[in-house]
Amino acid sequence: MALPWSEDSPPIRGKGGPFSRRTAAKLRRIAVAFSMHIGGRPSGLGDTMAMANMKAHKTQIRIIAGSLRGRRVTCTVSEELRPTPDRVRGAFFSILGDAIPDRPFFDIFAGSGVVGIEAISRGAASTVFLERDFSLAQSIDQHLREFGVAGKGQVLRADVYRWAERWLPAAGTPANLFLSPPFADLQNRLGDFLKLVATLQEKAPVDSVLTVQVEDDFPSEQLPDAERWERRQYGRNLLFVWMKPAAEFPSLESSIGQ
């Protein structure tokens, strides 16, 4: 969300009189906080600076449908945690449709865990939550116990990139894999992220569905097997959905252009 004022801008005049620089800067921080709450991220240096001054705050995210409908996941929104917006989450599960029940679900870069918990609510056989942050992983585990579905979820506090190298999916059992990578990973580890996607594509059983949630500046042409991803847009949020074909999938090296 790019806004036309900063602490160095001149006062902004309107019907109610001018805003002071301090007031304008405060409004900017509020706007950036709201942008992140709905799933946005800073679009420029000013937004990044405002984020640094933004205080983390708790919020509750509602489970949209299924056996846990109406239950709320409590999390702390900050520059490091941007929960998937309700609209995008609802659209994602609508896309999966009948491919949810009785399939294993993998919530990769789980964060608040709300996507994986929603999958359990909608009938997934089980959900594996992958989250390297200790406090976030602990919070997911607490919610699973609180909602009475601890037996359906497994929380792995692990580095996603190393986990993917060791992942051995059940043969012949299609899985749903959801990736919502942190902004820092896309900015500083894009090559590693693309390799992660290629690894999951190669290992996933036939008919597995892989979904990547990013924003509209993501270089989608670099995705492995780029021409076979279905693109859906919801404001600045993008979903790229790929299904594992029955034909033999290309090797990892050819998928990422090495």
Q: In this predicted model, what pLDDT tens digit does every residue of 180-215 receive, in sequence order?
A: 999 899 999 999 999 999 999 999 999 999 999 999
Alpha-helix residue ranges (DSSP H) falling in the chain? 21-37, 45-53, 86-96, 114-121, 134-146, 160-166, 183-188, 190-203, 252-255
This prediction's pTM = 0.76
- Give me the residues of the chain with pLDDT under 50, please: 1-19, 24-52, 257-258
pLDDT value for 47: 40
Q: What is the pLDDT of residue 247?
A: 73
Boundary (domain end) residue, out of 11, 39, 55: 55
Q: Quote the number of domains for the chain.
A: 2
The pLDDT of residue 84 is 81
Q: For residues 155 and 217, state if they share a domain.
A: yes
Q: In this predicted structure, what is the pLDDT of residue 185?
A: 94
**231 and 110 in one domain?**
yes
Please report whether residue 110 resides in a domain.
Answer: yes
Do residues 97 and 196 share a domain? yes
Please answer whether residues 104 and 128 qualify as being in contact, where contact means their C-beta atoms are separated by less than 8 angstroms.
Answer: yes
Q: Are residues 169 and 225 in the same domain?
A: yes
Selection from 104, 126, 79, 130 nearest residue 208 by Cα: 104
Looking at the domain assignment, is residue 63 inside a domain?
no
Residue 106 and residue 42 share a domain = no
Question: Quick check: is 27 in a domain?
Answer: yes
Q: Give the residue numbers spanning the domain of 230.
A: 79-255
The two structure tokens encoding residue 26: 């405060």
